[in-house]
Structure 1
Amino acid sequence: MKASDLLVQCLEAEGVEYVFGLPGEELEDLLFSLQKSDIEFIPTRHEQGAAFMADVHGRLTGKAGICLATLGPGASNLITGVADAQLDKSPLVAITGQGGRERLHKESHQALDIVQMFEPVVKWNNQIAEAETIPESVRKAFKLAQYEKPGATHLEFPEDVAAETIEAAPLPTRKRVCRPDPDRTSLDRAADLVSAAEAPLVLAGNGAVRTPAARRLRELVEQVGIPVVSTYMGKGAVSDRLDASLMTLDSGPDREGATAIERADCVLAVGYDIAEHDPKSWNPDRDKTIVHVDHEPAEVYEHYNPDVEIVADISATLRDLREQLDGVTAPSWCRDLHERVVDDVSREPAPNDPFSVEGTLPYLRAAMADEDVLISDVGSHKVAIAQQFRTYEPNTCIISNGLASMGIAVPGGVAADLAVDANVVVGTGDGGFLMNAAEIETATRLGLGFTIVVFTDDDYGLISQKQIDHTGEQFGTELTNPDFRSFAESFGIDGYRPETWSDVESTLQEVVPGDEMALVEIRL
C-alpha cells in the first residue's frame, strides 16, 4: 500500500472519527487515502479553526482531536490552536504536510522547519522521515497526547514519504497508561491536615473535570461537607447546586470565592494548574497549608509550595481520601457564602437595565439543560461567564484559560456539536467572533445546529477596561462591525437582535433548545 494509506489505517486503529483541516498540494496522497477510509475529513475555512476544533473535541471526548494542514503557512496557522490545546491540557494530534526531502536541505518554496517551529508548544514532535516508522510514530503521538496530563503532539509527513510503497500494519492500541494509586504515607498526612484544619477548602482545577475525578470529588465533598471553589477551567467539577459550591475564585457580589480561599487555612488543590490562576493572588503570604493532588508534581513556585504532594491517579486519590476522612465533618465556616453567590448570579435584570453579559446569563442558564454545553470565547464576557454562569456537570462550560486565545468559540461550537448529543451554545464577543466567524460556513455545510450569542460593544472591551483602570483612558481598542443579523442571514441561518430583556428571554428560550443554527446579538 501507499505510506499515506498506512498512516490513515493507523488513525483508524486509534478510533479517529474526524480530521479537521485544509487541503494542500503536499497532502494529496493523504487526502485520497482519507477519502477511502471511514474517517470523515472536514475541510475548514482556516487552519486555526481546524486546530481549535481538534482542541475542543479533545477536551470533550478525552480522545485526541486531529487537525491537518499543509506545509509553510498552513502549518504556521495551526500553531495558536495547538498551543491552546497544550496549555489547556487537551489531547490533540497535529499532522502537517511537507515538501519532498530532496529539497529540505536548501531554501525552497514555502519550506520552513516546521518540526523546530512546533517544538515549544507540543509534548512530542517528529518528522516521519521513513515510511517504516509510521506505525510507531502514530502510536506514540496518540499515547503521549492522551496520557495524563494530556496535551498536543505533532507529526510532519513529507510528500515523497507519503507516496512510497510500504508493507506494514498499525500497532495495536492498548489501554491508557494509568498512574498508580496514592502512597499511604502521603494519603495519611493529607487526611490529617484536612481533619485538623479550622477552615479547609477544595480548589478544583482543570484536572478535576477529566476522567472520573469529578464523581469522586463530589462524593468527597458531600461526605465531608468541605466547601469548593474552582478555577475557570474547573467549572462543573462540583455542581453549583451543592451548598458546598462557591463557584469560581472570583464569583459572588464581594468575590466570595476569593474571600473564602483567603480565609482558608488548608487548601486541597485537585488537578490545579498554576497557569489557570496565579496562586500569588490567593496565597500572597505563603502561609496556607496546601495538599496537592494531581497526575504530576507541583510546579516550583514560592506561592505554591505544597506541604503534601500526592502524585497519583486523581480519582483513586479522592476515593481513598474519602475513606480516610470517614466520620470527619468539615467546620461550617463559610456556609453563608453559597447563598450569597447563588443570589448574585441568579438575579435577573430590571426591565430598564442596559444590556449586559451578566444580565443575559440567568436567561441563558434557564434556556439550557444541565448537560448542554457552553463554549466561551475570550474577552470580558469570558470573565462574566466564568464567574456567573452556574455549571452543573463536568465539561459543560468550556473556557480557554491556559493560553486564553480569542477566536476559539465558533470552531469550538462545531467540534462540540459533533461530539455531544446535548445542545450547544457559543458565547463570544464581537472581537473574537470575527476572528473565526467563517467557520459558520463549515457548520452549515455539515448540517449542524447550535446557537451563537454575540455580545457587541464595538471594542476590545477587556483591554480597554484594563487601560482605563490603569491610566484613566483607552487607546487602540475601538472597532466597527457589520450588521450581525444580516451577516448571519448571509450564511443561511436566522439572526436575532433583541430590543428588550423580555425579547432576550423569549429568543433564547426559542433558539437554544432548537436544532437549527442561529445567531443572537446582544448589544451591550
Structure 2
Amino acid sequence: MKSMKTGSEAFVEALRIENTEVIFGIVGSAFMDPLDIFPRGDIRFVQVRHEQSAALMAEGYARMTGRPGVCIGQNGPGITNLVTGVASAALNHTPLVVITPAVTTATMGTKSFQEIDQMRMLAPIVTWQTQVIRADRVSEALRGAFRAAIATRGPVQVDIPRDLYYGKFEEEEQQPHQYRTSGRYGGAPHGEIERAANLLLEAKRPVFLAGLGAVDSDAGAAIAALADRFAAPVGCVWLHNDAFPGSHRLAVGPIGYQGSLAAMRLLSEADVVLALGTRLNLFGTTPQYDFDFFPTNAKLIHNSINPLELGAFRPMEVGLLGDCLAVVNQLLEATEGRRPNVNHETQLRRIDDEKRNWADMVRGNSLVDGEFIHPKRALWEISQAIPKDAAVVCDVGNVSGSANPYFNFDKPRRWFGPGSLGGIGVGFPTALGVKLANPNLPVLALVGDGAWSMALQEVMTAVREKINLVTVIFNNSQYGAERRNQYDFFNERFFWTDLENPNFAAIAGEMGALGMRVDAAGDIAPKIKEAFAAERPVVLEIVIDPKVLSEPYRRDALRTPERIMSRYRN
C-alpha cells in the first residue's frame, strides 16, 4: 500500500525500519529537517564534539552489535572530518552506513559554500556508494546502503542533496527481508572440506588460528570442539584476542605484536595450520621476539568469507571459502569418528609447558617496583582489577599497544584493538560506541597521553549522554611509540616526541567526569575498582616511567639513517 511522505520522512522511516537505534554526528543545517523528527522515529541522535569521533563511535557500536553503525555530518567540513573513522571501518571490515548530506542539486558543481566532491573523496574507502538525485529515491538508497554494508562488511555511503528532504511523493514501504539477506554465508564445497579434514587427521602438530570471522559468526564453542578432537593449540589473530575462549585449556593467546610467546612458539613448530575467519594480514604475522614465528613448511588450510583473501599473503594447501562457523561445523562432521594422527598427551603437555613459561615471563616482567610506575606493572594491575566480563578497547601507543598479553576473554566482542588503520586517538571514541551498544557491559578504554590529546573533548559527550565507561590514560609525557623508534634508529636523538601535558584528570573533572590521578603502583587496583563502581564516566590518569619503552611496532619499517652531505652528517 502506497502512502504520501516527504524526503525527510522517507529518510527517517527507512532508518526506523532497519531498527536503527542511534546515529552519531553533529547537528548541521544540511540535515536539520529529518533530524527534527528523529525522536518520533525512535532514533537517538548522539551529538559528538568532532565528526571523526562520530564515525569511530559508529564503528565501535557496529563492532559490538554486529549491525551497521550510522554516522552523519554537515556537508563539506563535517564530511571531511568523518574520513579517518570511515577508513578505519574499511580496514576493520566493519559495516557502517555513512550519510553525507550535500549542497542543493541546483548548486552542485558551482563550488558553492561548503561544497566538496564527497563521492570522489570517500570512493576509495567505501565498499558501495550512491548519490540520490530525486526525492522519491531516498528510501531506495538507504535500502541499498544497508544491503551493501551487511553483505560487504564494510562502510557504505549515501550522498543526499539537502533540498531533496523537502520533496513529496508516494511510495510503498518495504521490510528488510524484502530487499536484503542477513549477510551470513554457508560453508565450503564438500571436496575442499574433505581435503582439509584429511590434512588435519594426518597432522602431528596442528595449530589453529582464529580471527574476526570467528567473532562475527560466534564460532568459539565450535572451534573448541574441533580443537579438542586434535589437541590443537588455538591462537588468536592479532587484534582479535576474543576470537576463542581464553580460559580453554587449548587457548594460547594472540600472535603478533606484543602477543603470546607461547602461541608463536607453538605455531612455529606446526606441520598443519588451520586459519579460521582471517586474511592472515602481513602486519599481524611479522616476526616477534626476534624470530619469524609463522612456519614456512607447514601446510596451510585457510578459511575466509572473502575469496580475495584466500591465499593472498601465504601460500595455502586448501582454501575454504565460507562462513567461519559453518566451515568449522563441516570439519567437525567430516572428522567425526575418525582417528587423528596426533599424540594427544604429548601435545597437551607441550601446550601446558609453553603457557606456563609464558605466564611466568609476563608476571616476572610486570611485577617491577621502582621510583616510577613501570608500564607493564600498570597493565598488570589493571588486568587483575577489572570486572571479569569487561570489554577492553585499546588505542595505538607504546603502552596501550602492549596490552595484548594481559587480557583474556571468554566471549566474543570483548576486545577492540585500534584496527589495521592504526589511527592514534581512536580508542576513546570507539569505546563510547561499544558502551552505547551494550550499556550494561563494563567497558575499559586504554589510551596513551598523545592519543588522549586528540579525543579528550568527547568526555563532554560521555557526560552529556551518560555513557559511563572507564578510561585509563598512560601519561609518560611523550609519543612513546615514535620515541622508541628514535631510540633504536636515530642514536637517541629525540625530536618532537616530548609532550607538555596538563593534569588530564583535573580537566576531565571540569568536564563533568570523575577524574583520578595515580602515581603509585599500589593505588592502581583500588582506583580501578572505585572507577567501575562509579555511576558516571571516569578518567583515571596513571603517571608512568617515561624511560621504559616497549618494542617498536615494526623493526622492518625503519633503517639506520645515512647522511651524505657535510651539513647533515654531524
Where on the TM-score scale, by shorter chain, does this alignment land: which range? over 0.9
The structure-2 alpha-carbon separation of the partners of 1:510 and 1:517, relative to structure 1 and needing over 3 Å to count, comes to same
CA shift for structure 1 position 258: 2.4
Could you tell me which residue of structure 1 aligns to residue 359 of structure 2?
342
The structure-2 alpha-carbon separation of the partners of 1:23 and 1:330, relative to structure 1 and needing over 3 Å to count, comes to farther
CA shift for structure 1 position 280: 5.7
Alignment equivalent of 1:86, drawn from 70, 90, 93: 90
Could you tell me which residue of structure 1 aligns to residue 126 of structure 2?
122
Q: Residue 218 of structure 2 contacts residue 412 of structure 2 at CA under 8 Å; is this kept in 1?
A: no
Q: Residue 58 of structure 1 contacts residue 64 of structure 1 at CA under 8 Å; is this kept in 2?
A: yes
CA shift for structure 1 position 115: 0.8
Q: Residue 280 of structure 2 contacts residue 313 of structure 2 at CA under 8 Å; is this kept in 1?
A: no
Greater Cα offset, 509-518 or 80-89: 509-518
The structure-2 alpha-carbon separation of the partners of 1:218 and 1:36, relative to structure 1 and needing over 3 Å to count, comes to same
Could you tell me which residue of structure 2 aligns to residue 360 of structure 1?
378
The structure-2 alpha-carbon separation of the partners of 1:39 and 1:254, relative to structure 1 and needing over 3 Å to count, comes to closer
Q: Work out the CA distance in 1 between the residues paired with 2:137 and 2:26.
A: 25
CA shift for structure 1 position 135: 2.2
Q: Work out the CA distance in 2 between the residues paired with 1:200 and 1:353.
A: 46
CA shift for structure 1 position 310: 0.7
Alignment equivalent of 1:406, drawn from 415, 424, 432: 424
Deviations 1:417-473 (A, max 9, x none): 211121111110011111111111011001221111000111111111123222322
Task: Report the identity percentage.
Answer: 26
CA shift for structure 1 position 345: 3.6
SS in 1 for 2:209: strand
Q: Work out the CA distance in 2 between the residues paired with 1:94 and 1:18.
A: 13
Q: Residue 368 of structure 2 contacts residue 374 of structure 2 at CA under 8 Å; is this kept in 1?
A: no
Greater Cα offset, 174-183 or 21-30: 174-183
CA shift for structure 1 position 201: 0.8
* Equivalenced residues, count: 523
CA shift for structure 1 position 239: 2.1
TM-score, normalising length: structure 2 = 0.87
Could you tell me which residue of structure 2 aligns to residue 494 of structure 1?
514
1:384 aligns with 2:387: no
1:249 aligns with 2:252: no
Q: Residue 206 of structure 2 contacts residue 230 of structure 2 at CA under 8 Å; is this kept in 1?
A: no
CA shift for structure 1 position 303: 4.7
Could you tell me which residue of structure 2 aligns to residue 195 of structure 1?
201
Alignment equivalent of 1:522, drawn from 523, 542, 549: 542
Report the RMSD for the aligned CA atoms in angstroms: 2.2
Could you tell me which residue of structure 2 aligns to residue 503 of structure 1?
523
1:466 aligns with 2:485: yes
1:158 aligns with 2:152: no
Deviations 1:325-377 (A, max 9, x none): 33437444441212222333455524437423321233222322332111111
Q: Residue 455 of structure 1 contacts residue 522 of structure 1 at CA under 8 Å; is this kept in 2?
A: yes
Q: Which amino acid aligns with 1:328?
A: P
Q: Work out the CA distance in 1 between the residues paired with 2:248 and 2:488.
A: 35
Could you tell me which residue of structure 2 aligns to residue 76 of structure 1?
80
Q: Work out the CA distance in 2 between the residues paired with 1:276 and 1:25.
A: 44
The structure-2 alpha-carbon separation of the partners of 1:396 and 1:345, relative to structure 1 and needing over 3 Å to count, comes to farther
Return 5+ residue gaps in structure 2 as ranges: 545-570
CA shift for structure 1 position 384: 1.1
Alignment equivalent of 2:469, drawn from 450, 454, 478: 450
Could you tell me which residue of structure 2 aligns to residue 322 of structure 1?
332
SS in 1 for 2:274: strand
Could you tell me which residue of structure 2 aligns to residue 265 of structure 1?
271
Greater Cα offset, 47-56 or 273-282: 273-282
CA shift for structure 1 position 320: 1.7
Could you tell me which residue of structure 1 aligns to residue 566 of structure 2?
none
1:42 aligns with 2:11: no
Q: Work out the CA distance in 1 between the residues paired with 2:191 and 2:310.
A: 22
Q: Which has more radius of gyration?
A: 2
The structure-2 alpha-carbon separation of the partners of 1:353 and 1:184, relative to structure 1 and needing over 3 Å to count, comes to farther
CA shift for structure 1 position 252: 8.0
SS in 1 for 2:473: strand
Q: Work out the CA distance in 2 between the residues paired with 1:433 and 1:54.
A: 19
Could you tell me which residue of structure 1 aligns to residue 217 of structure 2?
211
CA shift for structure 1 position 18: 0.2
Deviations 1:217-275 (A, max 9, x none): 22222333210111232212222222212211148898333222222221111111244
Q: Residue 91 of structure 1 contacts residue 150 of structure 1 at CA under 8 Å; is this kept in 2?
A: yes
Alignment equivalent of 2:496, drawn from 451, 467, 476: 476
Could you tell me which residue of structure 2 aligns to residue 313 of structure 1?
323
CA shift for structure 1 position 166: 2.1
The structure-2 alpha-carbon separation of the partners of 1:509 and 1:105, relative to structure 1 and needing over 3 Å to count, comes to closer
Q: Work out the CA distance in 2 between the residues paired with 1:279 and 1:301.
A: 14
Could you tell me which residue of structure 2 aligns to residue 512 of structure 1?
532
Deviations 1:463-503 (A, max 9, x none): 11123222322322221111112111111222222232211
Q: Residue 30 of structure 2 contacts residue 102 of structure 2 at CA under 8 Å; is this kept in 1?
A: yes
CA shift for structure 1 position 298: 4.9
The structure-2 alpha-carbon separation of the partners of 1:324 and 1:369, relative to structure 1 and needing over 3 Å to count, comes to farther
Q: Work out the CA distance in 2 between the residues paired with 1:462 and 1:69.
A: 32
Return 5+ residue gaps in structure 1 as ranges: none
Greater Cα offset, 415-424 or 12-21: 415-424
SS in 2 for 1:438: helix
The structure-2 alpha-carbon separation of the partners of 1:43 and 1:183, relative to structure 1 and needing over 3 Å to count, comes to same
Q: Which amino acid aligns with 1:422?
A: L
